[in-house]
């Protein structure tokens, strides 16, 4: 009998802890989750939200992507903690560098994906991770990018211009009630990238609480367009239950008084 997929439901996958090694000598911790019974059709490289405000490889959208997308969509999910970032998975070496040294973190993740022959590589950034995507994501191996709640804080117009020139697919998924950039401003600013698509999600906020399913459907639509949508909400097969209690104090709301 099919069982409802819940927030902590882990569907079957081949999950492996990994280490990434940056060009400036740091070791970053991460995980890759692959389909259990077939080669992946695409690869989602996750760039997490701001670590000074609770962002990490285990932030809930990316955690749920790793739990579900290998089984439901055949997508490999590569997550990692950028320099100085800690989660239940462990802590990466180095210190948060305000989107400067993180250039090497992005490069190390893409190098890992290429070396291990992971196919059809896409970057999926969330908040701070969208700035890293725009600034450092135009690698020849990258097919395109999906931006979740882009604040456009560290990235500059020159980075949007570079994406425009490259012509690679770029989708910004923007919550109606985002804390930083809401859909009307996003449409205005991403107009600099002719191929960019802005998807507004009614009722959503920056953290996507209550909207994970919609976000994952939008990601799958770009990375694996042959997969029927919406994704199933139940699974007829083995399901493990993850312990998510360790993440209750790792939200942006908790860090609202911490300088960004």
Reported as a single tens digit per residue, the pLDDT across 214-249 is 999 999 999 999 999 999 999 999 999 998 777 766
At 59-102, the pLDDT tens digits run: 999 999 999 999 999 999 999 999 999 999 999 999 999 999 99
The CA distance from 64 to 233, in Å, is 13
Tell me, what's the pLDDT at 250? 61
Please give the pLDDT value at position 243: 85
Question: What local confidence, expressed as pLDDT, does residue 244 receive?
Answer: 77
Q: Select the more confidently predicted residue: 127 or 247.
A: 127
Q: Is the pLDDT of residue 1 over 90?
A: no
Q: Average the pLDDT over 157-184 and give the result.
A: 98
Residue 165 pLDDT exceeds 60: yes
pLDDT of residue 251: 57
Region 124-131: mean pLDDT is 98
pLDDT tens digit string along 31-45?
999 999 999 999 999
Q: Are 125 and 151 in contact (CB under 8 A)?
A: no
For 204, the token pair is 């959503």
Helix and strand numbers (H, E) in the chain are 6, 14
Q: Please report the pLDDT score of residue 252 as a whole number.
A: 52
Q: What is the pLDDT of residue 248?
A: 66
The whole-number pLDDT of residue 257 equals 44
Q: What is the mean pLDDT of residues 195-224?
A: 97
| Order of strands across the sheet that contains 75-80 | 14-21, 27-34, 75-80, 42-47, 121-126, 142-148, 170-175, 196-201
Report all structural domains of the chain as residue ranges with CATH numbers, in order of start: 3-255 (3.40.50.1820)
State yes or no: cis peptide before 151, omega within 30 of 0.
Answer: no
Does pLDDT of 255 surpass 80?
A: no
Whether the per-residue pLDDT at 260 is higher than 60: the answer is: no
- Indicate the range of 136-145, 149-158, 245-254 predicted with least confidence: 245-254
Supply the pLDDT for residue 177.
97
**How crowded is the C-beta side of 10, counted as CA atoms within 13 Å?**
13
């Amino acid at each position: 009998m099919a069982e409802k997929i819940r927030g902590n439901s882990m569907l079957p996958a081949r999950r492996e802890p990994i280490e990434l090694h940056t060009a400036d000598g740091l070791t970053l911790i991460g995980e890759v989750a692959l389909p259990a019974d077939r080669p992946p059709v695409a690869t989602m490289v996750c760039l997490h939200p701001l670590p000074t405000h609770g962002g990490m490889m285990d932030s809930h959208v990316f955690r749920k992507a790793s739990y579900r997308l290998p089984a439901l969509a055949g997508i490999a999910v590569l997550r990692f903690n950028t320099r100085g970032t800690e989660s239940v998975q462990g802590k990466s070496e180095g210190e948060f560098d305000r989107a400067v040294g993180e250039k090497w973190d992005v490069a190390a993740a893409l190098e890992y994906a290429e070396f291990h022959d992971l196919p059809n590589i896409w970057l999926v950034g969330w908040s701070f991770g969208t700035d890293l995507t725009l600034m450092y994501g135009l690698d020849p191996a990258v097919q395109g990018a999906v931006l979740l709640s882009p604040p456009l804080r560290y990235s500059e117009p020159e980075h949007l211009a570079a994406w425009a020139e490259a012509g690679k697919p770029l989708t910004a998924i923007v919550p109606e009630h985002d804390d930083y950039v809401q859909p009307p401003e996003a449409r205005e600013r991403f107009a600099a990238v002719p191929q960019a698509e802005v998807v507004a999600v009614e009722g959503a906020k920056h953290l996507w609480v209550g909207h994970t399913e919609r976000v994952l459907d939008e990601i799958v639509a770009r990375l694996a367009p042959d997969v029927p949508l919406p994704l199933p909400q139940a699974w007829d097969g083995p399901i493990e239950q993850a312990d998510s209690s360790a993440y209750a104090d790792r939200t942006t709301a908790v860090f609202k008084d911490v300088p960004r």
